Structure 1
């Protein structure tokens, strides 16, 4: 258990893990404010929860013991794992989201989130490729934490994969070959268009159009190499 300062608002929405922790999934709350999000996650009627919530002011709220399986990912898949809840720690980051006025994540919030991520990653030896967004593990359903989330900041701290930027080369894959490569990287490609959008939201957020172009192919090829090269 972490020694990072936090308060507790415990949720009844959890059960036993069936897998060891190997992933960290980041979400945004997607509700008008922190209080309503925390109340919802703590309500037995919601059937959802997370291990931690990080407010915009930088307060960390612990809601489910890490030893338990919080209900944050829903139907999800990543790198061969379908029971993502069992294999992951879930962190909800307070942000209204796309429905309620999506906005950048404040410095105070990131200042609390980064040490929490670092602590979790170190204790469970979670690899950078398994630090993911909700949209990565559930591309057909979710878009959080979204295109404004500063993945590059985490990458510079080796707390996420970097966006490849160096020596990019378009492999000229067909769209079908791109989808096979995307599946190999970790995504669920059951709904191909959604999977492409989720990939872009994470690794090319300035242009999320669902079109498989040369830049997308080059980025994905670089990510599949043993050591992705990026400015981050």
Structure 2
């Protein structure tokens, strides 16, 4: 049912952006049935964020499927009552949203390549341009079982530190940013870096750039024109699902 009439336009636009991001994550095959999750802070409501209605496939996600909850996991609005939220999703995302007010969008995935790298002792290797985006800018969080304990939130935040991307050991990937465009850019490059690494490890005699070159390349990703590139990439990606906009923005 289209509940647009009950939601203010600013929140509705945020819901449409987040629904589009869910669809793009599905398009790039970063899904795991009904598990994993993406969240977005509600504009002008720092203590509320949107997350998926548990049980809806990402490629079916609509703006009206999203649920507005607070940092305690409570559903905020009457129009979202009755929707189910994944507890693990709440634990992971509320930790980041509560402690990092500059990170408005958080993506968590369970891709095969992401998990494969998360299970490797050395983590992400600096062997590709995609991986060098995260050189000394990537965090790690040790596995503690399914994220159902609120006590894990503090450790998640401490491990993330000042970075925007993190590998959850034996679990998956996490990426965040100040917008859906920034978070998408982070998870796309991190996922691609993991795909490259899994393929490269089937060979021998890998080439490792020097530490100086690794740092230089990472800094290139942070240059002044990076902001424009991130938004250009987001709009280009949106064109892949433009034909479905009437469906996901309802």
* Structure 2 length-normalised TM: 0.28
* Structure 1 length-normalised TM: 0.30
Of structures 1 and 2, the larger Rg is shown by: 2
More helix per residue: 2
